[in-house]
Homo-oligomer: A and B are copies of this chain.
Amino acid sequence: MRDLDTLRGEIDRVNRQMLALLTERLSLCAEVAEYKRAHGLPVYVPEREEAILNWAASAAGETFAPYAREYFQALMDLSKEYERETGAQSV
């Protein structure tokens, strides 16, 4: 069994990687929203969201499936919130 400091060090490393990916994803989603607004496309596409949730649950495997789904739902809600903010700022 690994000790607590080692495990926390591992979690901190994962946290740093996750934070970098979060900000990258938020930026990408803002870029998508900007593209859609510029081309008169609907910003929210429920089918794309559902496809991501299904992919996540399937790719995560049985044990992690419900958590993966919940995680990506939270992530996409956050992205939409950020897109709205960004959109509001750019008007």
A→B interface (CB under 8 Å)? 1-4, 7-8, 10-11, 14-19, 21-26, 28-29, 31-32, 34-36, 38, 41, 48, 52, 55-56, 59-61, 64, 67-68, 70-72, 74-75, 78, 81-82
Q: Are A56 and B15 in contact (CB under 8 A)?
A: yes
Q: Are B82 and A75 in contact (CB under 8 A)?
A: no
Copies held by the complex: 2
Neighbour of A67 across the interface among B3, B16, B67, B81, CB < 8 A: B81
Neighbour of A56 across the interface among B7, B19, B25, CB < 8 A: B19
| A32/B11 contact (C-beta < 8 A), A38-B1, A67-B82, A74-B74 known | yes
Q: Of all chain B residues, which has the CB nearest A55?
A: B15
